[in-house]
Chains A and B, each alone.
Chain A
Amino acid sequence: ETGVTQSPTHLIKTRGQQVTLRCSSQSGHNTVSWYQQALGQGPQFIFQYYREEENGRGNFPPRFSGLQFPNYSSELNVNALELDDSALYLCASSLGTGGSNQPQHFGDGTRLSIL
């Protein structure tokens, strides 16, 4: 069973640039969620995709957007990067949604640094 993989592991960008982070979900999982984890904080929910449709969104501005592909892999795109976007971005996959109590399986994250 292949776990959740994220790429790249580290990334350095400057203010105003755009970034795309990628996630391959665990085999058999059809739901992907993205989180932002600032240093010393818990993960903050960005959004979730279920079968290629956005299925919930946290308190993040529209410059944070995403996609889910037919193979259930996913991308997180962030436009007009700001210094406060520096964080660890975590992807988590799970099976099912709509009240499912299935736990999420996390990747090791992408560390994004904004200069």
Chain B
Amino acid sequence: AQSVTQLGSHVSVSEGALVLLRCNYSSSVPPYLFWYVQYPNQGLQLLLKYTSAATLVKGINGFEAEFKKSETSFHLTKPSAHMSDAAEYFCAVSDFKGSYIPTFGRGTSLIVHP
């Protein structure tokens, strides 16, 4: 069965600092991996997705994530945090079998200090 673990329920950074949000997954087959962002009182918005092409995936708003099969990780990074990046971030995994039904992690709240 597929599962996702997001390390750290809260991550706090200063504006301009590196953002690193961690995600580890388990899957019996090569997975599809996603990062979504959720702003208060809104639904989820896709940041980026990995679908077995390039291991370094670039997304919107300057975010990127690297798929590391040996570490079963898909960490999200951004070189320089902006105040507008403050939100909840969710990692999701979907096995490539049958329907596309992702399993979400519990989320990491990113706090950006001025």
Interface size classification for chain A: 20 to 34
Across chains A and B, the number of contacting residue pairs, with CB separation under 8 Å, is 68
Number of interface residues of B (CB under 8 A): 27
Q: What's the Cα separation between A97 and B71 when bound, in Å?
A: 29
Q: 1/0 per position for B74-114, CB-CB distance to A under 8 A?
A: 00000000000000001010101111111111110000000
Which of chain A's residues 73-99 have a Cβ closer than 8 Å to chain B? 90, 92, 94, 97-99
Closest residue of A by beta carbon distance from B36 = A106
Dominant SS among interface residues on chain A:
loop
Task: Name the contact of A90 in the complex, choosing from B41, B43, B98, B101 (C-beta under 8 A).
Answer: B43
Which of B11-19, B44-52, B61-69 is found at the contact surface with chain A? B44-52
A103–B34 touching, CB < 8 Å: yes
B98–A98 touching, CB < 8 Å: yes
B106–A41 touching, CB < 8 Å: yes
Which has the most chain B C-beta neighbours within 10 Å: A4, A31, A104? A104
Q: What's the Cα separation between A99 and B99 when bound, in Å?
A: 5
Instruction: Assess whether B28 is interfacial by the CB under 8 Å rule.
Output: no
A residues in contact with B105, CB < 8 Å: 42
A: residues with CB less than 8 A from B are: 4, 31, 33, 40-45, 48, 50, 55-56, 58, 90, 92, 94, 97-109
